Structure 1
Amino acid sequence: MTSLHTTPHTVAGPGTVAGPGTVAGPGSVAGPATPLAAVADPFGWLDEAAEARRRTGLVRTLRPRPAEEDLLDLASNDYLGLVRHPRVTAAASDAALRWGGGSTGSRLVTGSTALHAELEAELADFSGAEAALVFSSGYTANLAAVTALTDADTLIVSDELNHASLIDGCRLARAEVTRAAHRSPDAVRAALAGRTRRRALVISDSVFSVDGDAAPLAGHAAACRAHGAALLVDDAHGFGVLGPGGAGATAAAGLAGSPDVVTTVTLSKSLGSQGGAVLGPRRVIDHLVQAARTFIFDTGLAPAAVGAALGALRLIREEPQRAERAREVARTLSTRLAAHGLQVSTPDAAVVSIRVASPEAALAWATECRRQGLAVGCFRPPSVPDRWSRLRLTARADLTPDQIDHAVATLTRTAPR
């Protein structure tokens, strides 16, 4: 699951005028039937959009990285430092050699291997869930959970700072959607109390990807239970870092195995691989197999990624201290950078962010850090909904004291004045 927020989740509904990218709903105004004049260059508007991004300093750039790079990496989501662990890469290689380079088809045709089933069983056991279902990405896992667990008689209550994939799931769902104030069980409770739909699903990230703040999951669960609602938790940034031995945020909140809680995870962060999964009650997982379009119509996750995730999962079960170490590194980075007067978030997991005055300043700071041997994330609007640009740091469990010293020294030395 990509670590970005996005614009508010708006959907064209009754009485709205359908604009670019929206679908006119019942009773919407589609405008006059007068034919529009032909456009000489149908993609000319892309040049205008690109120029607007350049003017505001919001151009994104693909930077292919080499296999070996002389940089200290605080930009990736490799929270437990397992991407290059010999056991993880060997598991990926062994899986590819045995099962092939791809899964060959959708999970319901030829894309499910014995290795997929093995990973699903171990993910469920590790997290305390009844069952698990593996997807090709965390994004598709979120789309599946939101769309397949709701219908036109459902109210979705979604935290206003939820991840883009959850917001897209809300847009695709046929449900009524309302946004709740960030990290507010009271706002969730109020939305549920006023609902007119038969069913309700409350959706929240466990750890929000920009600032690393954790959702009050116990409070959300209590609000849900008071009003007969289900809870869907996106644990992309909590799984492997929070809970006993890294079992996840739902386990940390005492919600693992609950019959009214569903969790989504990504395999691309703490497990150092690729893919995603939905964890929850067996009947939920069985329903997703039958109804989730991003499961039914998508090619199954490649065996190498399945093997890597399984190897990493077994490794962190043997080394549960990695989760606490990642949290310790995050606290150390936050405390030391704050002592230098930087606007640093207080981490609840392994994400640390530093606010920057402007997109241009953030990009220049990140660029100078890279020049001095430190890779950091650079988040700018519209990826951050509050308009504050940030540098985002990943607190990896395998960082040494010397590497932490180097990161702090580089960030403070190059900070905008």
Structure 2
Amino acid sequence: MRDLNTELTRLHQAGLYRQRRIMANAAGVYGHADGREVLAFCSNDYLGLANHPEVVKALQAGAERWGLGSGAAHLVNGHTTAHHALEAELAAFTNRPRALLFSTGYMTNLGVIAALCGRGDHVFEDRLNHASLLDGGLLSQARLQRYAHGDGAALDGKLAQRTTGEKLVVTDGVFSMDGDLAPLPQLAATAKRHDAWLMVDDAHGFGVLGANGGGTAEHFGLGMDALPILVGTLGKAFGSFGAFVAGSDALIEFLIQKARPYIYTTALPPAVAEATRVSLKLLQTDTWRREKLQSLIQRFRRGAEELGLTLMQSQTPIQPLLIGDNDKAVALSQALLKQGILVSAIRPPTVPEGGARLRITLSAAHREVDVDQLLTVLEMVA
């Protein structure tokens, strides 16, 4: 048997040990972590919708009508009119014929990739893809090849070497740890040239990018022909929970038949679907949230530049402060916490070796004074 205590000690010594913080407040930028009052810059609630009164009211009304759990998987008797309506609205939102709800983003990626590819097929993934995308490639048992981050030419070369089997190109739309965008127009053209599928997980793009919050597809003006498989999660800018994939009628029908994480999982609570329908409307109509968010991003980047801090090339709410050393990243996170600022230290394997960082994320729920406070404390401790 493995000596787990020895392995835990090794993680401590390498600066890789992870600990949960106990939050004593509803989702938001102001709260209490481990009994300490904090101003948080580490949430993915980019538009501040997770605790929006209208969303909460819809959840309460949904619970009164539907109860708590859905009771069964979608293909048994757990698929309600609430789920069906949300799928139709997500399809319209993404300009695709259909959408399919999953219980989590991780399950969506596992399910889609493993359903479309198997032995003898080929999956090509960006080197910095989210773990769920990489795990989906491994689960499929197809040959998984990783190309250099954001490098369409490298992808082209790998695709050219494969002349048999299905070919699936998989990428994040916005990379969750760097905050940069995948070069989707180039990747779409490359995939089409080699008769390959293109799948984009736009978990961190929806709500943030595009005039209507349509994410990287809207940002780049890509339709279903260029981007046939579009995945989104509902627990970030939507402020809800769950995930979906949008695409052609044939794609969705095939996934209903073949995606095991969809078939064999209890459906999302209907009340959550009802709440998400409201957050989807707010995400599209409250354009001021995106405008405010972009203003805060620029304010933070200007201030960080004046302080000489090393930021990465990101124009999204994800603003990583690169540290490098694991212990230093943890120490800086702890120093910020002592000053009432909550920012997580991100270390390998979430990021490459030597890439430890503070993952600072901004929300439309922040105020300018909050960003200024963060900059003041960063100047003090960094």
CA distance in 2, matches of 1:311, 1:73: 25
> Aligned to 2:204, what secondary structure does the other structure show?
coil
1:199 aligns with one of 166, 174, 180: 166
> Aligned to 1:245, what secondary structure does the other structure show?
coil
1:331 maps to amino acid: Q
Query: Conserved in 1, the CA contact under 8 Å of 2:102 and 2:268?
Result: yes
Residue 346 of structure 1: how far off its partner (Å): 2.4
Residue 259 of structure 1: how far off its partner (Å): 6.7
Q: Which residue of 1 aligns with 2:28?
A: none
Query: Conserved in 2, the CA contact under 8 Å of 1:157 and 1:180?
Result: yes
Q: Which residue of 2 aligns with 1:354?
A: 321
1:57 aligns with one of 15, 18, 28: 15
Matched, 1:144 2:102: no
CA distance in 2, matches of 1:148, 1:401: 46
**Cα separation, partners in 2 of 1:410 and 1:308, compared to 1, 3 Å:** farther
Q: Which residue of 1 aligns with 2:5?
A: 47
> Aligned to 1:232, what secondary structure does the other structure show?
strand
Query: Conserved in 1, the CA contact under 8 Å of 2:296 and 2:368?
Result: no
Query: Conserved in 1, the CA contact under 8 Å of 2:121 and 2:167?
Result: yes
Query: Conserved in 1, the CA contact under 8 Å of 2:212 and 2:285?
Result: no
Residue 386 of structure 1: how far off its partner (Å): 4.0
Matched, 1:79 2:46: yes
Which range moves more in the overlay, 296-305 or 163-172? 296-305
1:62 maps to amino acid: R
Matched, 1:178 2:145: yes
1:106 aligns with one of 55, 73, 77: 73
**Cα separation, partners in 2 of 1:260 and 1:271, compared to 1, 3 Å:** closer
Residue 330 of structure 1: how far off its partner (Å): 2.1
1:263 aligns with one of 230, 242, 247: 230
1:17-416 matches, within 5 Å, as 42=1, 44-67=2-25, 68-69=31-32, 70-258=37-225, 261-415=228-382
CA distance in 2, matches of 1:327, 1:211: 17
Number of aligned pairs?
A: 373
2:139 maps to amino acid: L
Residue 59 of structure 1: how far off its partner (Å): 0.9
1:411 maps to amino acid: L
> Aligned to 2:158, what secondary structure does the other structure show?
helix
> Aligned to 2:359, what secondary structure does the other structure show?
strand
Query: Conserved in 2, the CA contact under 8 Å of 1:89 and 1:308?
Result: yes
2:268 maps to amino acid: L
CA distance in 1, matches of 2:294, 2:130: 21
Q: Which consecutive segments of 4 or more residues in structure 1 shift more than 4 A? A: none
Query: Conserved in 1, the CA contact under 8 Å of 2:42 and 2:362?
Result: no
Query: Conserved in 2, the CA contact under 8 Å of 1:327 and 1:395?
Result: no
Residue 307 of structure 1: how far off its partner (Å): 2.3
CA distance in 1, matches of 2:362, 2:184: 23
Residue 271 of structure 1: how far off its partner (Å): 0.6
Higher alpha-carbon Rg:
1
**Cα separation, partners in 2 of 1:260 and 1:393, compared to 1, 3 Å:** closer
User: What is the aligned-residue RMSD (CA, Å)?
Assistant: 1.4
Q: Which residue of 2 aligns with 1:31?
A: none
**Cα separation, partners in 2 of 1:59 and 1:229, compared to 1, 3 Å:** same
Query: Conserved in 2, the CA contact under 8 Å of 1:330 and 1:347?
Result: no
Query: Conserved in 1, the CA contact under 8 Å of 2:74 and 2:266?
Result: yes
2:129 maps to amino acid: N
Query: Conserved in 2, the CA contact under 8 Å of 1:128 and 1:251?
Result: no
> Aligned to 1:201, what secondary structure does the other structure show?
strand
CA distance in 2, matches of 1:106, 1:168: 23
CA distance in 2, matches of 1:357, 1:191: 30
- More helix per residue: 2
Query: Conserved in 2, the CA contact under 8 Å of 1:233 and 1:262?
Result: yes
Unaligned runs of 5+ in 1: 1-41
Unaligned runs of 5+ in 2: 26-30
CA distance in 2, matches of 1:332, 1:81: 18
CA distance in 2, matches of 1:226, 1:106: 38
Query: Conserved in 2, the CA contact under 8 Å of 1:158 and 1:178?
Result: yes
Query: Conserved in 1, the CA contact under 8 Å of 2:326 and 2:354?
Result: no
Which range moves more in the overlay, 149-158 or 199-208? 149-158
**Cα separation, partners in 2 of 1:223 and 1:259, compared to 1, 3 Å:** closer
CA distance in 1, matches of 2:195, 2:57: 46
Query: Conserved in 1, the CA contact under 8 Å of 2:198 and 2:228?
Result: yes
CA distance in 1, matches of 2:366, 2:101: 30
How high is the TM-score relative to the length of structure 1?
Answer: 0.87
Query: Conserved in 2, the CA contact under 8 Å of 1:245 and 1:321?
Result: no
